Amino acid sequence: MPTAVRTRGTTIARAHFRTDIQGLRAVAVLLVLVYHAGFAVPGGFVGVDVFFVISGFLITNHLLAEISATGRLDFARFYARRARRILPASFLVLILTVIVAHFLLPPALVAGMVRDAIATALYFPNILFAIDGTNYLAETAPSLFQHYWSLGVEEQFYLLWPLALVALWLLTRRSKKVLVGCVSVLVVASLVLGVILTYQSQPWAFFSLPSRAWELGTGALVAIVGPRLLARLGGMPAAILGWIGLAAIVGSGFILNSTTAFPGFAAILPVAGAGLAVLCGEQAGRQGPGVLLSTRPMQFLGTISYSLYLVHWPLLILPTQLGGQSVTLPWFVTGFLAVLAVVLAWAMYRWVENPFRQSKALTKRRPRVTLFAAASVSLFAVVLALGVGAAARNAPSSSDQKAQDPTSLIANPTFTDFVPTNMVPSIAAASTDIPLIYGDGCHYDVSKTTVQNCVYGDSQSTTTVALFGDSHAAQWFPALLELAQQHSFRLEVYTKSSCPSFTVEILENGVPYSACDQWRAAVIDHLKVEQPDVIVLSNLGDYPDQGPGGIATELWTSGLTTTVRTLPPSSHILVISDTPAFTGTPALCLSVHLNDADACSRPRADALDENRAAAEKAASESAGATVLDVNDFLCTQQQCGVIIGSTLVYRDSHHLTATFAKELAPEVWTGLGPLLPQ
C-alpha cells in the first residue's frame, strides 16, 4: 500500500518501494562495472543511460506528487533531500581519491588531476570533460574522477528540473495532456541536439546536460503518462513489453561498442528499453522481468549501486597509473578489484550513504542546515585538492645531477639515464612544449574544413615548402621553421588534428570524420594551384580506434599512394616516417623515476611498427616520393629512450617536444635539402 508523508499540513502520497526498479539499478551498475573492468560487454557504458531514465522517473514522480497535493514545491526541502542522498558518498570517494592519489601516483599526474577534483567538488565535471574532449592536446591518463560526469549531469538536472516542472505546471494550468506535450517537445529537442552534436562535437553530446536531458525526460514522461497507459494494459502485454525493455538494455550492452556514434540515435535503444522496463515493471507482476529483478542478488546490487558506481572507477584506474605508465591489468586482477568494489560499496552504503540519508540530526532540522553542510564539505574538498596540487607541483622534478653533454644528433644514441636538473623542457612543462601553430590558429582542430594560408619563414621567397598532415606532421613544424629561417624559403602549413594527409577513411568518436575528408580534399586542390617545390607529408602511423586492428596496412599504403599521386607532379614529395609511441606519457613516468630514466624507455620493437614502416616506405618510393626515417636518432636497435643529452624527447605518449623537434632540423635537412631548387 502507498505510504504518506505530511508536509506543512498537507498529506502527500508516496508510492511504495519498487523492487523492479531496484533490480534495474543492479543491471545498470553491472553493465558499467563489467565494461570498465574490460570484460566482454563492449557497450556497458549504456548503464549510465539506464540510471538517467530511472532518475528522471523517480524525481518527477515525487515532484508531481508534492505539486499535486500542495499546489507548490518546497525547493529547499527538495534540494536538501537530494544532498543527503547523493553527496555524503560522493564527497567521501572524492576526498579519499585525492588523498590516495597524493601518496601513490606520480606528482605530475596528480597536479594535472587537481582541476578535475575541483570541478567535481563544484558539480560541473561533465562540462570540464566536454571541454577537454574537444582539446586534442589532452593526451593524458584517464581521470580518476571521470565517472563523476554523470553525477554532474544529474546534479544539474536536479537543480533545473524542479523549477522547469513548476513553471510548466503553472503554464499548462495543471492539464496533464498539455504538460505531456510540453515535456515531449523538450525531450525531442534534446534528442535532436544530441544527435547533431554527436556528429559535430561528440564530447559535448556525451557529457552535457542539454544533449542528455531527453534521457532523463524519458523517465519524466513515464512518470507523467504511466498511470494512464498502465490502466489500458493488461498483465500479459505489460509483461511482454517489460521483457522487451530489459532485453533492449542488456542487448545494447553487447551490440554497441567504442566505435558506435554515441549517444546519437544509438542511445535510443537502451533509453527506450529502460523506459519500457520502468513503465511496465509493476503492472507485469510475476510474469514480467520483475521476477528476475526482484531476486536477492539483484536487490543487493541495486541497493549498493550508487556507492558501487562511485567506488569502482578509481579502484580500477589507480593501479594502472602507479608507475607513471598506463598498464593493462590481467583479467584476474581486474576481476578481484571488481569484487573488492562490491565489498567497499556495501560498507559505504551501510555506514555512510544510508545513515546520512536517514540522519535525524539533519532531517529534523531546516533544509538550510543540510545545504550549508554540503557547501562546507564542497569547499573543504576544493581546498584539499588545491593543497594536494601545490604539494605535487613542489615535489622534486629532477635528480641532483646535471647533464654534462649537450644534446647531439647521432645514430644509435646514448640516452641520459636520469632526469637532469637542466632538462628542457622540464617535467612540468612537457605537455605545453608544443609547436607555435597550436597557438596561432594554423593547426586546425577537428571541426574546421576550410584552407587557411599560413606562411612562415621568408614569405617573399620563390622557394616554397608545404607541410601537410595530422598532428604528427605538426610536430615537425619547429624543425622546418628553423630550416626556413636558415635557408630563406617560404613555409606553408596545412595540419589538422586526427586527420592524416593519406586518403583513408577515419572514424572520430565512432562516426565518419567527414570534416577530415573535406579538409584533405580542399588542401590537395589548393596545393595543385600553389605547386610548392616540396610537400612534406607525415602522419600518425595508425589510428587504433578505427575498430579491431586499426587501419589495415594495405588500406594505409593505398591511401598514401593515392595522395602522393594526386598532388601536383611538379612538387617533390618528402614523407617523414612516424616516430615511436609509448604506453603512457614519459614525463609522468620520469616523475617517479628521477634516477632511473631507463625505466621509462620502451623496446624498439614495441614502440615502432617496423613492418608497417617498411610497407609505407615501399609504397612511397613506388609513387615517386622520398622517405626520411629519423628513428635511428631516437632509438638504438633495442630501445627507444626518452631523454637525449639534456632534452626531453616526448611531450606525451606519441608526440615529440617542440624543443627536440627543433634540434632534429639538421637531420630533416638531409632529406629536404636535396629536393629544393639549387
Task: For 72-84, write each residue's pLDDT tens digit.
Answer: 899 999 999 999 9
Looking at the whole model, is its pTM more than 0.75? Answer: yes
CA distance 269 to 504: 31
Beta strand 534-538 pairing with 3-7? unpaired
Q: What is the pLDDT of residue 14?
A: 52
Residue 284 — pLDDT band, cuts 50, 70, 90? low
Average pLDDT score over residue span 583-590: 92
CA distance 574 to 671: 7
Q: Assess contact for 676 and 533: CB atoms under 8 A.
A: yes
Cis bond leading into 586, ω under 30°?
no
Q: What is the pLDDT of residue 263?
A: 94
Q: Is the pLDDT of residue 670 over 80?
A: yes
Q: What is the pLDDT of residue 4?
A: 38
User: Lowest-confidence range among 350-359, 564-573, 667-676?
Assistant: 350-359
Cβ neighbours for 102, distance < 8 A, ≥ 6 positions apart: 110, 388, 391, 392
Residue of 94, 111, 198 whose CA lies nearest to 155: 94
CA distance 85 to 354: 8
* 499 vs 505, higher pLDDT: 499
Cβ neighbours for 358, distance < 8 A, ≥ 6 positions apart: none
Domains of the chain, each with CATH number or no CATH = 3-392 (no CATH), 430-675 (3.40.50.1110)
Residue 612 — pLDDT band, cuts 50, 70, 90? confident
User: Lowest-confidence range among 182-186, 523-527, 584-588?
Assistant: 584-588
User: Lowest-confidence range among 125-134, 417-426, 433-442, 495-504?
Assistant: 125-134
pLDDT in tens, 41-68: 999 999 999 999 999 999 999 999 998 8
Q: What is the pLDDT of residue 358?
A: 85
Q: Is 469 left (phi over 0), alpha (psi -120 to 50) or beta?
A: left
Residue 10 — pLDDT band, cuts 50, 70, 90? very low
Beta strand 626-628 pairing with 572-576? parallel
Q: Is the pLDDT of residue 70 over 60?
A: yes
One-letter amino acid for residue 627 of the chain: V
Phi, psi of 602 (to 5 degrees): -140, 140
User: Lowest-confidence range among 123-137, 333-347, 476-490, 610-624?
Assistant: 123-137
Average pLDDT score over residue span 621-643: 95
Mean confidence (pLDDT) of the chain? 90
User: Lowest-confidence range among 223-237, 428-442, 596-610?
Assistant: 223-237
The C-alpha cell at 646 is 639534456
CA distance 19 to 98: 35
Average pLDDT score over residue span 98-116: 92
Beta strand 602-603 pairing with 3-7? unpaired
* 627 vs 515, higher pLDDT: 627
User: Lowest-confidence range among 108-112, 263-267, 362-366, 589-593?
Assistant: 362-366
Average pLDDT score over residue span 628-648: 95
User: Can you spell out the DSSP letters for 459-525?
Assistant: TT-S-EEEEEESHHHHTTHHHHHHHHHHHT-EEEEEEETT--SSS---EETTEE-HHHHHHHHHHHH
Q: Is the pLDDT of residue 306 over 50?
A: yes
Listed ranges 114-128, 161-175, 351-365; the one with the highest mean pLDDT: 114-128
Q: What is the pLDDT of residue 403?
A: 83
CA distance 317 to 535: 43
Q: What is the pLDDT of residue 382?
A: 98
Q: Is the pLDDT of residue 604 over 50?
A: yes
Reduce the DSSP state of residue 527 to 3 states and report it: helix
User: Lowest-confidence range among 5-19, 116-130, 392-406, 609-623?
Assistant: 5-19
Q: What is the pLDDT of residue 387?
A: 97
